[in-house]
A and B are shown apart, each in its own frame.
Chain A
Amino acid sequence: MKITYKNSQYSALTGETVLDTLLRHEVAVPYSCKAGVCNVCVMVGDHQEHSISATNGLKNTLVRQGYFRACQSITSQDIKLQDTENVSLFSPASVMEKDFLAPDVCRIRVRPATDLFYHAGQYLNIRMPNGEIRSYSLASLPTQDEYLEFHIRKMENGIVSSWLFDDLDVGQKLDIQGPFGDCFYLPENENGDILMIGTGTGLAPLVGILRDAISSGHNGRIQIYHGGRTEPDLYMHKPLLELSNTFKNFQYFPCLSKPSAPLEDTMFSSLASDLAFFNNENLKGSLVYLCGSPQMVKTARRKAYLLGADMKQIYVDPFITKNLRGGELETSLPASIGNDRRNRL
């Protein structure tokens, strides 16, 4: 059996784990417990044929992408290991459509120059001409949409978001890289109940996941709680209301924290997460998706876990707004780039 890593091939001895093969060849890879506990040695391979202990306990969406514990996998077939630190290249995409959904939110649809394999709910990095890079979640569905869709919220002093919101026109090009992230739908969960909570443009990946679930014929109940301050923040109100009328197993709960009276009778005066957990006191067996402000994601994650959700079934995408001293950087950056990778296992 051959193990390929960083352009070199290594032969595995019979019964030898991937990690042991690499270490025997004096390849420097991170590891710690060698017992399948610490997850330090997690790698990404080009197939998913591993012993159970190599993937047991990892999120299913990561296993699907080839993640496994090198210390627990005894190779039964050749495997190519991805260099997880290797950054994939940017490729061009051109803007097909641009609409304004709210005073501070626009929808941009782009066509990539080369086909992109992704799951609805993942995110891409967008690079603007001056080199600034930010991450944005995908709201499109690869099986139905020919375009990639992003919901961009214009941030105060936001370099990239202002460029996307104010300057970018139809026909122009931008560079994309990805996809990244493990917040997406898996068809094997078709009978599970899905609870989704999103604040602001955290709705974007949830819309993609919702459409993916519906088009996969999801049987379980699906709920989306979208939170904003005032009415314009609920920028997908009408289409989601229509979807909830069309599909019996989908319910949409638009929530406002500072509604201007009087409240439309389809809306709720509440924090999205408060109403979600009030309506769902037992989350055992449920799939939970949380996207948006890091504070909401953090508290809702703990709450969902304490209400019985399995930690592996809670998928999160915290939108981190960078605001470094000096006021330079900004916008919606999922926290999962680089060093944070292990924390999402």
Chain B
Amino acid sequence: MSGSLFDQIGGQPAVDAAVDIFYRKVLTDSSISDFFEDTDMDAQRDKQKSFLTMVMGGPNNYSGQDLRTAHAPLVEKGLNESHFMAVAGHLNATLKELNVPTNLIEEIMNIAGGTADDVLNR
């Protein structure tokens, strides 16, 4: 295996495939779907795509501050660690569904886990 995580996982097509599965999982999970109730679906999906591109090591311009600002209103509505874990679970399941190798899943989940403090504004 060589190349960046993003290349190993299959680049942009892999991200596109993941977004589709991931977003459906998030929207159907009643424990978190309320947080997505008022959002514009296109904009939301673009964000999911940026997020997945970022955790999969692809080109992005995400900053911790962006994550904080974007999630601050949700934290006010009660977004907490259990919600974060639920989304992380969907990410994990999505990657498994796409037969991403275990070692890469681990790497991706580590990157995702590293955003917890910013997302939850801690």
Hey, which bits of chain A sit against chain B, CB under 8 A? 32-39, 53, 56-57, 301-302, 305-306, 310-311, 342-345
Look across to chain B and name the residue whose beta carbon is closest to the beta carbon of A311: B45
Look across to chain A and name the residue whose beta carbon is closest to the beta carbon of B45: A311
Determine how close the nearest CB of chain A comes to the CB of B122; give it in whole angstroms: 26
Cross-interface CB contact of B27 among A33, A56, A306, cutoff 8 Å: A306
Determine how close the nearest CB of chain B comes to the CB of A70; give it in whole angstroms: 16
Q: Provide the residues of chain B in CB contact with A35, threshold 8 Å.
A: 53, 58-61
With A37-B60, A301-B41 already in contact, the answer to whether A306 and B49 are too (CB < 8 A) is: no
Interface size class of B (residues with CB under 8 A): 10 to 19
B61 touches A33 (CB 8 A): yes
A343 touches B40 (CB 8 A): yes
Look across to chain B and name the residue whose beta carbon is closest to the beta carbon of A298: B41
Does B96 touch A at the CB level, under 8 Å?
no
With A32-B61, A35-B59 already in contact, the answer to whether A311 and B42 are too (CB < 8 A) is: yes
Cross-interface CB contact of A37 among B24, B42, B49, cutoff 8 Å: B49
Q: Provide the residues of chain B in CB contact with A343, threshold 8 Å.
A: 40, 42-43
Q: Provide the residues of chain A in CB contact with B27, threshold 8 Å.
A: 302, 305-306
CA of A37 to CA of B58 in the docked complex: distance in angstroms? Answer: 10
CB-CB nearest 9 A-B residue pairs: A35-B59, A343-B42, A33-B61, A343-B40, A37-B50, A37-B53, A343-B43, A306-B27, A306-B24
Within residues 30 to 77 of chain B, which ones have a CB less than 8 A from any CB in chain A? 40-43, 45-46, 49-50, 53, 58-61
Does B12 touch A at the CB level, under 8 Å?
yes
Residue from A36, A37, A56, A342 with most neighbouring chain B CB atoms (10 Å) = A37
Q: Provide the residues of chain A in CB contact with B28, threshold 8 Å.
A: 306
Does B16 touch A at the CB level, under 8 Å?
yes
A53 touches B61 (CB 8 A): no
Cross-interface CB contact of B60 among A33, A342, A344, cutoff 8 Å: A33
Q: Provide the residues of chain B in CB contact with A32, threshold 8 Å.
A: 61
With A33-B60, A33-B61, A343-B40 already in contact, the answer to whether A39 and B24 are too (CB < 8 A) is: no
Q: Provide the residues of chain A in CB contact with B46, threshold 8 Å.
A: 37-39
Within residues 7 to 23 of chain B, which ones have a CB less than 8 A from any CB in chain A? 12, 16, 20
Determine how close the nearest CB of chain A comes to the CB of B89; give it in whole angstroms: 18
A302 touches B50 (CB 8 A): no
A311 touches B59 (CB 8 A): no
Q: Provide the residues of chain B in CB contact with A36, threshold 8 Å.
A: 12
CA of A343 to CA of B42 in the docked complex: distance in angstroms? Answer: 6
Q: Provide the residues of chain B in CB contact with A306, threshold 8 Å.
A: 24, 27-28
B61 touches A57 (CB 8 A): no
A53 touches B41 (CB 8 A): no
Q: Provide the residues of chain B in CB contact with A310, threshold 8 Å.
A: 20
CA of A310 to CA of B50 in the docked complex: distance in angstroms? Answer: 18
Cross-interface CB contact of B50 among A34, A38, A301, cutoff 8 Å: A38
CA of A32 to CA of B59 in the docked complex: distance in angstroms? Answer: 12
Look across to chain A and name the residue whose beta carbon is closest to the beta carbon of B61: A33
CA of A335 to CA of B12 in the docked complex: distance in angstroms? Answer: 30
6 residue pairs bridging A and B, Cβ less than 8 Å apart: A33-B50, A34-B59, A35-B61, A37-B60, A311-B20, A344-B42
